[in-house]
Structure 1
Amino acid sequence: MMLLLMMSCGPSMTSNWLKPNLELPKYYGRIAVIAVSSDLELKEILEKHIGQKFEKHGMDNVVYGSELFKENITQGNWDEGYITKTLNQNRVDGAIIVSYLGDLDVPEYSTEVLYGAPANQRLEQHVNLRNTEVPAPDYYTSGNKKYWFEAFLYDLSSMQSKEEALIWKGQSSVSSPSSVKKGAKRFSKVLVDHLYKKEILK
């Protein structure tokens, strides 16, 4: 496994992992966008904007977690069997799962300190997203705040284990938005642009 680190003047995927020996780019006839959050507005923003970005790249069969599942999917009620069964029943062959990890204040006077993103958690062998809940995300207006997001891409086109189905994961921070929800919109573009520019998807 190789961890690729990228630095850019603008928002980018600050760290990402790609499964080795893949035949790329991948095409999915029906891809699911699933945001894991108890904040329904944040969930809707992430799913909607990621889906719209996919459609701009020609992906015309996008389905959303908010439409597929009766209950909102959060870390607390994550039911792997139910989620897998639902995706299979809806003929989904690709799934991208996103989550808001939390915020990080970066002192404006510090230009040399390096900050790391929060680490992933594992839950019952599933690479689970750490979903740090913020009671009132729009409260924050600090010009130097960074919001961290994470995404996982799964290939569901064949029967394989969860570990084998995971083909890509990445994290990104967006800085200086007036709220986490505006940050989510910026992250959506960064995420989808990365998947196509790196020819992971076609």
Structure 2
Amino acid sequence: MNLTSDRIRSIGWASVLLLCGALTIGLTLRVNAVKSQVYDTEKKIVWLKQDIDFLQTEFQTRSNQQALKQLNDLEFGYKAPGAGQYIEGERQLAALGKAPGPGAPQPIRYANAEKPVSRDTGSSLLAMVSPVTDATAAALSEPAPATARESDPERKKLAQDAAALGQRLARIEVAEAGQ
């Protein structure tokens, strides 16, 4: 076999191309392996950030619970219910109801103003009002006699109590921390 210089050059170029191809394939595999490691590392970073966020939220929640407990101990004094606070049935619940003792405040009463029964219909429902004449509205808007309002002593006492309550509610009193 007689190798000519052209033949040797072509074999050289082919071997150089094969070597470059093998190096390219090897480099591509190495780059893909590094990309896979980078992707895994990014996933770990994201997971760790989520874990850090979770732990920060947990820490803030527990610190808020501690602050709320301290505030409760200082200001309110609420405690978790104990076993002795639960009742067993209706009889035990009924036994808790007692008659008001001496000096107990009167129960709160609500005003209940019912409209007098109409003579025409026999019903206490509001009558239909004509938008043109407005006759029923004029009859309803008549004021009550002044003598009946002013002479009622219970009404005067309620007005005085309401004024005193308004004065008490208008003040703001700041409680001391050690009380």
| Structure with greater strand share of residues | 1
Q: TM-score band (shorter)?
A: under 0.3
TM-score (norm 2): 0.15
TM-score (norm 1): 0.13
| Structure with greater helix share of residues | 2
Give the structure, 1 or 2, with the largest relative contact order (CA under 8 Å, sep 6 or more).
1
